Structure 1
Amino acid sequence: MDFALPQDLVDYLAELDRFIAAEIKPLEAADDNIRFFDHRREHARTDWDNDGLPRPEWEALLKEARRRADDAGHLRFAWPAEYGGKGGSNLAMAVIREHLAAKGLGLHNDLQNEHSIVGNNPFIMMFREFATAEQDARDGAKLLAGEMFTAFGLTEPNHGSDATHMETRAVRQERDGQPGWLLNGEKMWTTGMHVATHVMVFARTAGADGDAKGITCFIVPADAPGVKIEEWLWTFNMPTDHPRVSFTEVWLPEDSYWGEVDRGLGLGQSFVHQNRIRQAASSLGAAVYCIEESVRYARERKPFGKPLSDNQAIQWPLVELATQAEMLRLLIRKTAWQMDQMDHKAVASQLSDKVSMCNYWANRLVCEAADRAMQVHGGIGYSRHKPFEHIYRHHRRYRITEGAEEIQMRKVAAFLFGYMGPRKAEFA
């Protein structure tokens, strides 16, 4: 059994480091762009008088960094080769995400809005796996060219983790002799609506509440009549691009969906499984950053005339965190590798529990590591002059989004006790 990373991946990490040093760090240092990452970061990023949305200059900087990364061949690393990418594996993406997050805050990788020089775009794989030939011909080129940006509308004001109980409905309706659908409902946390051209709206089209079947994924133009942003939801970590959106009597042509009618939930599962394993790797990287910064500070700080690191009260909590990080790294990489060994659609039924283990534990670990880093650093750790409060505030949401940790544990239990997954036959 060989735990060594493939040499080509090790070489690629070094290539990314050289690119960051040559292209991204100079851009980060120019024109006081460091204000987006130092103690001024939350204010610099947030247009407080415009619903708390991201400031245009902040998003323009991110766009320029992505352009440079794309020109260098990094941004689309994970995209399938037929879509202009390098076909990066789940294992490679997990290693890269950890590597970049472990560098701390910076223009190379800012997880508050999923910005990275190696892009995380789960829509691409989802579209490839579920879109029909007709849907690919209609939307594929626009999606790949960045001309079609889709927000994700699954959660609702009254339904979060219980997505199969959603109240959003779509019924067939003909208009002017054309077959179509009439859509009504509300969605929460439809991130990116301020720049989206379309919204993926999951709506019940058949079946009863709680049924997995009977949900369809509609592709709704963001400017369609009846689509309205009701409010921008301010969060623990600002700026916000997360609105509550209503869909009132929105009429859509018959073919305004991805995948199949009544089988849209699979698209949502595809999205979250890709996101969960990559999110876990990023949380691990951020946790490692907090641990390592705490170790360095404890060695340098000398209260009462001796290094802070001499005290076991400082050592032992960091030992616990470092041990968890080592174990978690192995689980994440093994799970990502296993994902690469099976059909993309099989992950939900065969490996979903391991993905959930990685996700909920990593998101919990990074919060603990950030909190410990604040404690080790004392007053300066609590201040915004250190990045730990930002890391905590950002990663705290991951314990809720993409499935709350209770939902993740519930999934693990379902597989463990054979209510679903590979062991179901064993307990039948």
Structure 2
Amino acid sequence: MDFSLPDELTQYLAKIDAFIESEIKPLEEADDNIRFFDHRREWARTNFEEGGLPRHEWEELLEEAKRRADKAGFLRFALPGEYGGSNGSNLWMTVIREHLAARGLGLHNDLQNEHSIVGNFPSVIMLRDFGSAEQKDVFIPGILDRKLFLAFGLTEPDHGSDATHMETRAVPEMREGKAGWRIDGGKMWTTGMHTATHVIIFARTAGDDGDAKGITAFLVPTDTPGITVEEYLWTFNMPTDHPRVSFSNLWVDDSCIFGPPDRGLALAQAFVHENRIRQAASSLGAAAYCVEESVRYARARKPFGEELARNQAIQWPLVELATQIEMLRLLIRKTAWEMDQMPHPEVEKRISDKVSMCNYWANRLCCEAADRAMQVHGGIGYSRHKPFEHIYRHHRRYRITEGSEEIQMRKVASYLFGYLGPRKGQIPPPR
């Protein structure tokens, strides 16, 4: 059993670091772009006068970083070769994402909006596996060329984790002699609607509330009459691009159906494991950054003439965090490696609980590490001149999104107690 990273991977990390230093860091420091990352970051990024949306200059900077990363061959790393990628494995992606997050805040990897120079493209893979021939021809190159942007409308004002109870409805309706669907309802947290060219709308087309079947996905242009952005919801970490959207007498033709009719939730579930394991790795990297910065500060700070690090009250909480980081890193990499050893559908059947363990624990650990870093740094740690408050506020989100802690713990419990997974029907009676 060999736990060392392959030479090819460590060399790739070195190439990424060299690219960051030569291309991304200079861009980050040019034209006062550092305002988006220093103590001014929330104000620099947010147009408070225009609904709290991201400022154009901020989003354009992110796009420029992506363009440079794409030109250098990093952005599409995880995609198949047919889309200009390198068929990056889950193991490699977890190591890379941890590595980038452990560098701290920067243009190379801003977790507040899923930005990274090594990108994640779930919508491209979703289109490859579920899209019609026409949808593939239009949307995959459009997304990769950064000309088309998809928003995702699943969560509703009254229904979050209970997606099968969604109230948005789509009913067949002919208009001008053409077959189509009228959609009525509403969605929450439809991230990216301010720039999206299209939105994936999930609506019940058959069955009863609570049925997994009977929900259909529609791929709809955002300028279609009947779509209204009601408000952008201000969040713990600003800016916001998370609106509440309503659909009223929205009509689309049959060509907008995305994936198999009545089985739209398969799209929503298809790549949750890849997203969760990679996001867990990012939270792990951010936690490691918080602990390392705390160690450095505690060695340098000398209250009462002695290093702060001499105090066990400083040492022990960081020791516990460092221990958890080491254990979690092994579980994340082992789980990612196992994911790479099986066809994607098998992940849900065999190790979905391990993915959930990695994700919910990493997000919680990151919040604890950021909080501890603030405490170790004292007053300056509580200020915006250090990144810990930003890290905490952002990663607190992930304990709710990407599957809440409670939902993921429920998944782990269902495997542990044999209601799902390999242990189903295998739990022996008490001895």
TM range (shorter): over 0.9
C-alpha distance in 2 between matches for 1:58 and 1:87: 30
1:283 match: 283
C-alpha distance in 1 between matches for 2:134 and 2:53: 36
Q: Say whether the 8 Å CA contact 2:124–2:140 is kept in structure 1.
A: no
Structure 1 residues 207-240: Cα deviation after superposition (integer angstroms, max 9, x where no partner): 1111111111111111100000000000000000
1:107 match: 107
C-alpha distance in 2 between matches for 1:65 and 1:348: 34
- Quick check: 1:89 aligned with 2:118? no
2:336 match: 336
C-alpha distance in 1 between matches for 2:151 and 2:131: 17
TM-score, normalised relative to structure 2: 0.97
Q: Say whether the 8 Å CA contact 1:123–1:271 is kept in structure 2.
A: no
Superposition deviation, residue 411 in structure 1: 0.7
Superposition deviation, residue 344 in structure 1: 2.0
Superposition deviation, residue 135 in structure 1: 3.6
Q: 1:144 to 1:64 in 2, by over 3 A?
A: closer
Counterpart amino acid of residue 320 in structure 2: E
TM-score, normalised relative to structure 1: 0.98
Superposition deviation, residue 342 in structure 1: 1.7
Provide the secondary structure at the position in 1 that maps to 2:175.
coil
Which aligned pairs between 1:235-314 and structure 2 lie closer than 5 A? 235-314=235-314
Q: Say whether the 8 Å CA contact 2:419–2:425 is kept in structure 1.
A: no
Of 343-352 and 176-185, deviating more is 343-352
Unaligned runs of 5+ in 2: none
C-alpha distance in 1 between matches for 2:234 and 2:92: 34
Which aligned pairs between 1:132-211 and structure 2 lie closer than 5 A? 132-211=132-211
Superposition deviation, residue 348 in structure 1: 2.4
Q: 1:137 to 1:66 in 2, by over 3 A?
A: closer
Q: Say whether the 8 Å CA contact 1:183–1:248 is kept in structure 2.
A: yes
Counterpart amino acid of residue 184 in structure 2: N
Superposition deviation, residue 134 in structure 1: 4.8
Provide the secondary structure at the position in 1 that maps to 2:50.
coil
C-alpha distance in 1 between matches for 2:168 and 2:228: 15
Of 11-20 and 336-345, deviating more is 336-345
Q: Percent identity?
A: 73
Structure 1 residues 83-118: Cα deviation after superposition (integer angstroms, max 9, x where no partner): 111111111111000000000000111010111111
2:12 match: 12
- Quick check: 1:77 aligned with 2:77? yes
Superposition deviation, residue 132 in structure 1: 4.0
Unaligned runs of 5+ in 1: none
C-alpha distance in 1 between matches for 2:210 and 2:48: 39
Counterpart amino acid of residue 103 in structure 1: R
Q: Say whether the 8 Å CA contact 1:216–1:263 is kept in structure 2.
A: yes
C-alpha distance in 1 between matches for 2:359 and 2:137: 35
Superposition deviation, residue 382 in structure 1: 0.2
1:42 match: 42
Provide the secondary structure at the position in 1 that maps to 2:120.
coil
C-alpha distance in 1 between matches for 2:218 and 2:207: 17
Provide the secondary structure at the position in 2 that maps to 1:185.
strand
Q: 1:138 to 1:24 in 2, by over 3 A?
A: closer
1:225 match: 225
1:130 match: 130
C-alpha distance in 2 between matches for 1:139 and 1:109: 25
Superposition deviation, residue 162 in structure 1: 0.8
Structure 1 residues 45-89: Cα deviation after superposition (integer angstroms, max 9, x where no partner): 000000000011111111111111111001111111111111111
C-alpha distance in 2 between matches for 1:419 and 1:321: 32
Counterpart amino acid of residue 27 in structure 2: L
After the TM superposition, which segments of 4 or more aligned residues of structure 1 sit over 4 Å from their partners? none
CA RMSD of aligned residues (A): 1.3
Counterpart amino acid of residue 66 in structure 1: K
Counterpart amino acid of residue 422 in structure 1: P
Provide the secondary structure at the position in 1 that maps to 2:171.
strand
C-alpha distance in 2 between matches for 1:148 and 1:389: 33
C-alpha distance in 1 between matches for 2:98 and 2:41: 22
1:213 match: 213
Provide the secondary structure at the position in 1 that maps to 2:189.
coil
Of 211-220 and 233-242, deviating more is 211-220
Superposition deviation, residue 361 in structure 1: 0.1
Counterpart amino acid of residue 136 in structure 1: K
Superposition deviation, residue 343 in structure 1: 1.7
Provide the secondary structure at the position in 2 that maps to 1:223.
coil
- Quick check: 1:389 aligned with 2:393? no
Counterpart amino acid of residue 116 in structure 1: S
1:360 match: 360
Counterpart amino acid of residue 213 in structure 1: K
Counterpart amino acid of residue 110 in structure 1: D
Structure 1 residues 147-206: Cα deviation after superposition (integer angstroms, max 9, x where no partner): 321101111000011111111111111112211111111110010001100111111111
Superposition deviation, residue 138 in structure 1: 4.7
Structure 1 residues 268-287: Cα deviation after superposition (integer angstroms, max 9, x where no partner): 11243222111100000000
Counterpart amino acid of residue 353 in structure 1: D
Aligned residues: 428
Of 84-93 and 120-129, deviating more is 120-129
Counterpart amino acid of residue 360 in structure 2: Y
Counterpart amino acid of residue 79 in structure 2: W
Q: 1:138 to 1:21 in 2, by over 3 A?
A: closer
Structure 1 residues 281-300: Cα deviation after superposition (integer angstroms, max 9, x where no partner): 00000000000000000001
C-alpha distance in 2 between matches for 1:423 and 1:249: 47
Superposition deviation, residue 301 in structure 1: 0.5
Q: Say whether the 8 Å CA contact 1:206–1:215 is kept in structure 2.
A: yes
